[in-house]
Amino acid sequence: MPQFLIKPEDISGDRFSLSGPEAFHVTRVLRRKVGDAVELFDGRGGRFNGVIRSIGPDGTVEGDITGREHAPRRNFPVRLNLYLSLLKASHWEWAIEKAAELGVSAIIPTVTPRTVVQLRELTAGKRERWGKILEAASKQCRRADLPELREPQHFRDAIVAAAKEGVSLVAWEKHAGASTYAGLRETLREARGKNPAGLTDNVFSGPEGGFSDEEVELAECEGAALFSLGPTTLRAETAAVAAATIALYELAL
């Protein structure tokens, strides 16, 4: 059953109100009627079961909350922030969609000297489209929360800021050894041991041209750990998804 995004303020006690595009989808696309069940989530971790009690002339759906579901929790709480260098439109959109499906907590568009897309090209329309992609992906994979889409940052600022928030990992295709697990598993295990209550993991994935030697040197100076995604050179969007997947997997163990 599809789930629908509802604003937290539109849930009052055991009642809910759904309007706008979500209500249109319920009534006009899926043709739900009074008495039909619906599943809702508030984008902040809450998921609810409801029953439609009325459909207004303007399409607004009113109903009763019949139950509250608890989103699945990891054994070890982890927040993964994906610092993803801006990519060409179709590649970027694919990457953030998959990141949302994987459970990434926040996506931070990052600019480097080798980034093809520049900040001046980031219109309000593009950001709105990205938000819709993240929302659709969260619905499809039944997340109870929405990934946070932060303001773009230059790499030099992002790597410094991330050093103050958990552990930072930089996927770099030139890392010696070309082994995914060479130092990553040990780094995460050590970080997890120092933060038993939960950990923020900052994963940096580069642009089409990769990170420069100077950027990697800066990252190391800020305490970031380098890791490789294997002996082959991946496309930038593939590398981002692979890096997030590996980090989440290792922290789930």
Domains of the chain, CATH where assigned: 3-70 (2.40.240.20), 78-252 (3.40.1280.10)
Residue 249 confidence class, pLDDT cut points 50, 70, 90 = confident
Q: Which residues sit opposite 52 in a β-bridge?
A: 63
Q: Residue 172 has what DSSP assignment?
A: -
Mean pLDDT, residues 114-123 = 78
Mean pLDDT, residues 199-209 = 94
Q: Is the pLDDT of residue 246 over 80?
A: yes
Residue 181: per-residue pLDDT = 53
Question: Which stretches of 139-195 are assigned E, i.e. beta strand?
Answer: 148-149, 153-154, 167-171
Residue 177: per-residue pLDDT = 53
Mean pLDDT, residues 95-106 = 96
Q: Check if the beta carbon of residue 49 is closer than 8 Å to that of residue 37.
A: yes
Residue 173: per-residue pLDDT = 81
Q: Is the pLDDT of residue 116 over 70?
A: yes
- Beta-strand pair 37-41/3-5: parallel
Range name among 39-53, 112-126, 134-148, 152-166 with the lowest pLDDT average: 112-126
Q: Is the pLDDT of residue 92 over 50?
A: yes
